[in-house]
Amino acid sequence: MTLTELPSKNQQGGPHLTLADPRHRKAEVSGGHEARDLSIFAGLLFLPLGLHLPYFPVWLAARGLTAEEIAAAIATPLVARVIATPLIAAFADKRGVGLAVTACALTVFATYCGLRFGSGFAPIFAGAVLVSVAMGSMPALADALTLSEIRHAETDGRPPIAYGHIRVWTSIGVLATMLASAAIVEALPGEQIIVALILLSLPSVGAALFAAIRMNRAHLYAGATAGRLTADSARLRLALLTIAAAALIQASHAEVYAFGTIRWRAAGLSPGAIGAAWAVGVGAEILIFLLAARYFRSERSAVPLLLLGAAGAALRWTAMSFAPGAEAVIALQTLHAFSFGATTCGSVLLLGALASATHRARMQGWLAAAGALSLAAATYGSGWLTARFGDEAYLAMAALAATGGVIALAAGWLKRGLQITG
């Protein structure tokens, strides 16, 4: 049996459902409702990210922070996520993803409110830690929820749910915010950006409450108090290599995340051009998720997706080191489909197949923690490199992505050499 060939209830001796059986029609309706609920949840939960990612550093600069302080305010919280995210994921496995994600969304909202009135580096730094830990933990929780329902659909004989079809709504929500970001920042410039983040976090809280109240009644989450992360040591070794490869490729985004908008503004790009650049990246990400949902639905595609992500990232950052103009920046943003989208699909699909049923949130939590640690180190480095070398700092990001690609090759070799059974 392969990683994705899970026995259905009929194979285990359960009742056979025909197309004419009312129970079959009920299963189809239930599967459609669950896919719809997951899509609503994914679309609303990350709306603040579409403004936070490009403009939170701008808000930090408006509050008077230096380049090194901005890098510290962004990178240090990522270190806290290394410890916090696995703990939050373990709580989610035991008590429910809905409760865990609601606590995270409420924390983001409350912290933005606090930052609105805070002043000085210390309180801003503390707020950045809370926002980063809470917001950074939510993708792992959302992925665990989606993967759990995908597995339930497979084993219950319900219509299949593709990860890409759910994950794409996260990107659509973020894209919608990014498309509106120029208008938002023009209406609420500088220090007022935090007000827009407060308002955008309200739908996120609503989505989390929706998951906690409505979806928990559908028993999408089962408490887990025992068991191992993977079924055997072979799966664990493969999981560790997958996590390492994905973490390094994702960490190569540190320079553009921390200083992309700031340097583009300094180079004379208009708010509209900057918003378009970020939006094109997310639009390309949406395309790769839709393609993955149709053509790359199983873990068999995971390693090729990781390699595609590494190659796309290395090319993207090498080109960015030449300080391209507005048109070239927008064109290069299409490579986000590979550097982020393909890497995300490959790692989530493979780790979702490797994780034991009682540890899905924790597996995604460890991926998020490793990503946070590598991104923190890369962001610290990007602050130092940018201050001294400017756009040539992107060459270091290209090297990170290439290293991740080498590890992905090792994961592919290990995966081919192992007969992994369910």
DSSP string, 194-213: HHHHHHHHHHHHHHHHHIII
Helix axes 343-354, 233-251, angle to 10 degrees: 160
Lowest-pLDDT range of 97-101, 217-221, 343-347, 359-363 = 217-221
Work out the percent of the chain whose per-residue pLDDT is above 70: 85
Region 231-242: mean pLDDT is 82
Hey, is 355 helix, strand or coil? strand
Q: What letters, b where the CB count within 10 A reaches 16 and e where it falls short, cover 262-299?
A: bbbeeeebebebbbbbbbbbbbbbbebbbebbeebbeb
pLDDT at 118 over 70: yes
pLDDT at 12: 40
Across 96-105, 127-136, 194-203, the highest mean pLDDT is recorded for 194-203
Closest CA to 177 of 268, 90, 283: 283
pLDDT at 226: 52
Per the model's pLDDT, the better-predicted residue between 227 and 340 turns out to be 340
Task: Name the residue type at position 77.
Answer: P
Q: Are 306 and 367 in contact (CB under 8 A)?
A: no
Q: How far is the first Cα of the chain from the last one, in angstroms, to the nearest whole number?
A: 6
Q: What residues form DSSP beta bridges with 355?
A: 230
Q: Are 247 and 370 in contact (CB under 8 A)?
A: yes
Write out pLDDT tens, residues 53-67. 889 988 998 988 887
Q: Are 281 and 334 in contact (CB under 8 A)?
A: yes
Q: Token pair for residue 376?
A: 């923190």
pLDDT at 311: 97
Write out pLDDT tens, residues 171-229. 888 888 888 888 899 899 889 999 999 999 999 999 888 877 765 543 444 444 455 76
Q: What letters, b where the CB count within 10 A reaches 16 and e where it falls short, cover 186-221?
A: eebeeeebbebbbbbbebbbbbbebbbeebeeeebb
Neighbours of 61 (CB within 10 A): 17
Task: Name the residue type at position 139.
Answer: P
Q: What whole-number distance in Å separates Cα of residue 406 and Cα of residue 319?
A: 20
Cβ-proximal residues to 275 (8 Å cutoff; 6+ apart), any chain? 54, 178, 179, 181, 182
Residue with tokens 């992107």: 394
Closest CA to 102 of 206, 208, 204: 208
Per the model's pLDDT, the better-predicted residue between 325 and 20 turns out to be 325
What is the pLDDT confidence band of residue 418, given thresholds at 50, 70 and 90? low
Region 129-135: mean pLDDT is 89
Cβ-proximal residues to 262 (8 Å cutoff; 6+ apart), any chain? 57, 58, 61, 70
DSSP state of 232: S
DSSP state of 230: B
pLDDT at 4 over 80: no
pLDDT at 28 over 50: no
What is the pLDDT confidence band of residue 119, given thresholds at 50, 70 and 90? confident
DSSP state of 46: T
Q: What whole-number distance in Å separates Cα of residue 111 and Cα of residue 52?
A: 13
Lowest-pLDDT range of 76-80, 123-127, 143-147, 380-384 = 76-80
